[in-house]
Amino acid sequence: MSSHALPAEVDGGIEQLIHNALAPQVEAIDQGAFPGDFLRAFGALGGFAAALPAESGGLGLGLPAQIDLIARVARTCGTTGFLAWCQAACAWYLQLSPNPEVRARYLAQVAQGQLLAGTGMSNVVKHLAGIEQINLRGHRDGQGYRISGALPWVSNLGAGHLLIAAAALDDGTYVMFAIPPGAEGYSLRACPAFSGLEGSATYGVRLKNVFVPAADVLSTPEQFDAYVRRFKAGFLLLQIGIGAGLVQASLDTIQKANQRLDHVNRYLDDQADTLRGDLDTLLAQTAALAEQEESAPLLGILRARAQGSELSLRATQSAALHAGAAGYLMSSPTQRRLREALFVAIVTPALKHLRKEIHALEQRQAA
Ligand SMILES: Cc1cc2nc3c(=O)[nH]c(=O)nc-3n(C[C@H](O)[C@H](O)[C@H](O)COP(=O)(O)OP(=O)(O)OC[C@H]3O[C@@H](n4cnc5c(N)ncnc54)[C@H](O)[C@@H]3O)c2cc1C
C-alpha cells in the first residue's frame, strides 16, 4: 500500500496520528469506546478528503489515495477503518450530489471531520438488489419530503452527527437525503452488544414524520438512478481499504510468528507469500478500477469487493493459525481481526449479496 500520492507533510502527520492517538486505544475501541477524537483529528489532516477536488477542500488525489488512507487506519484498527469508510463515503455522496445547496451545507465539514456522519444505505442498497423490503418511506411536502421508518443499525452516529439515508416515496421512486443532528422526529436507539465493532457507535435509527427540506436532499427521484450509479463505484471500492488493512496487519503477524515458528508454520495453507501476492493483485486491480471512478465496470468492482472479503477472511484466519495460542489471547489483535474480517464479509454488500449481484450480471452478459 504505497502512500506516495500524499504530500509528505500529510503522510507523516497521518502516520504519527495513527501511531500516537489510535494504536494505544485499539482494545478500548474493540470494547466500545468510540474514537471520535481520532476521527476529527484524522479529518483535520485531510484523512477523508483525498478523493475530493481541491475546490471542495480536498487533496485532489482521487479514490486510490482515499482507499490507501482507509487501509492504513484499518491496519491498526478495523473498527476505526470502517468508521473512516463511513465518513469518506458520506463525503463522497455529498461531493457527487447534484444539489449545490446540500454540498454547501455539509461537504466541507464532513470532509474535514468536523461533522461526523453515518451512512444508513445498507437497506436501500439491499432493497435495490432485491434482497429486502425498503424500511424508510416518504411523501412530498411542499419543496421537501416527510420521512418515516427505522433502520436497525447505522454506525458513526451520536449526538451532533449527520445521517445520510434514502427512502421510497408513495409512487415507488426514491429520494436520498441528509438528516442533521436534532431534526424533529429523529431519534437513536442503542443496539444489542455485537461480537466486534463495538466502538463503531452503531445505533438503531427511528424517523417519525421527519421533515427534509429541499436543501438537505442529495438526490431527487428524477436524479436517483443516475446518482446511485455515480457513487456506487466509490462506495464499494473504498470498502476494499478496510479489508486491505486487515490483510496487511495479518501479514505483519505471520512474519512475526515465523521468526520463532517457521519450521512448523510452513505446513499451513495461505503462506505469507501467497497472501502478499493476492493482496498486491487485488490492490492493483482496485487502483485501476478506482482511477476510472464512475466509469469503472460494475462487474469488476463487485468481484474486487468480493475478493477483498474473501482475502480478509483467509488472511486473518491464517494469521491466527500462525500465531497459535498467543493469538487466541483476548489481548491479542489476531483474534480481534478475525471478528473484524467477518464484519467486512457481512456488512453491506455482504459476500452473499455480492455473489448474487455478480451471478446476475454474469447471466445477463452470457445471454
Ligand atoms: C456492527 C454493524 C454495523 C453496521 N453499520 C451499518 C451502517 O453504518 N450502515 C448501514 O446501513 N448498515 C449497517 N449495518 C448493517 C449491515 O450492513 C447489514 O445490512 C446487516 O448486517 C444485515 O445484513 P445481512 O446480510 O445479515 O442481512 P440478511 O441476512 O439479508 O438479513 C435480513 C434482514 O434481517 C434483519 N435482521 C436480522 N436479524 C436481526 C436482528 N436481530 N435485529 C434486527 N434486524 C435483524 C437485518 O436488518 C437484515 O437486513 C451494520 C451491521 C452491523 C452488524
CA distances from 26 to 97, 156, 250, 334 (A): 34, 16, 16, 12
- How many contiguous H segments (helices) and E segments (strands) does the chain have? 13, 8
Q: Which residue from 143, 7, 128 is spatially nearest to 69, judged by alpha carbons?
A: 7
Ordered by where they begin, the domains of the chain are 8-115 (1.10.540.10), 118-219 (2.40.110.10), 224-366 (1.20.140.10)
Atom 35 of ligand 1, residue of closest alpha carbon: 152
Q: Please, are residues 59 and 10 in contact by the beta-carbon 8 Å criterion?
A: yes
Dihedral over alpha carbons 57, 11, 342, 260 (to 10 degrees):
180
Q: Report the predicted TM-score, pTM, of the whole model to 2 decimal places.
A: 0.96
Q: Which residues neighbour 349 within 8 Å (Cβ) at sequence distance 6 or greater?
A: 125, 126, 129, 236, 302, 305, 357
The Cβ of residue 86 has, within 10 Å, a number of other Cβ atoms equal to 26
- Centre of ligand 1 to C-alpha 120, Å, is 11
**Whether the CB of 194 sits within 6 Å of ligand 1:** yes
Q: How far is the CA of 131 from the centre of ligand 1 (A)?
A: 12
Rounded to the nearest angstrom, the distance between the alpha carbon of 266 and the centre of ligand 1 is: 38
pLDDT by residue, tens only, the chain of 367 residues: 444 478 898 899 999 999 999 999 999 999 999 999 999 999 999 999 999 998 888 999 999 999 999 999 999 999 999 999 999 999 999 999 999 999 999 999 999 999 999 999 999 999 999 999 999 999 999 999 999 999 999 999 999 999 999 999 999 999 999 999 999 999 999 999 999 999 999 999 999 999 999 999 999 999 999 999 999 999 999 999 999 999 999 999 999 999 999 999 999 999 999 999 999 999 999 999 999 988 899 999 999 999 999 999 999 999 999 999 999 999 999 999 999 999 999 999 999 999 999 999 999 999 8
How does DSSP classify residue 188? E
Strands 136-141 and 162-169: parallel
Q: What is the grid cell recorded at 302?
A: 463487485
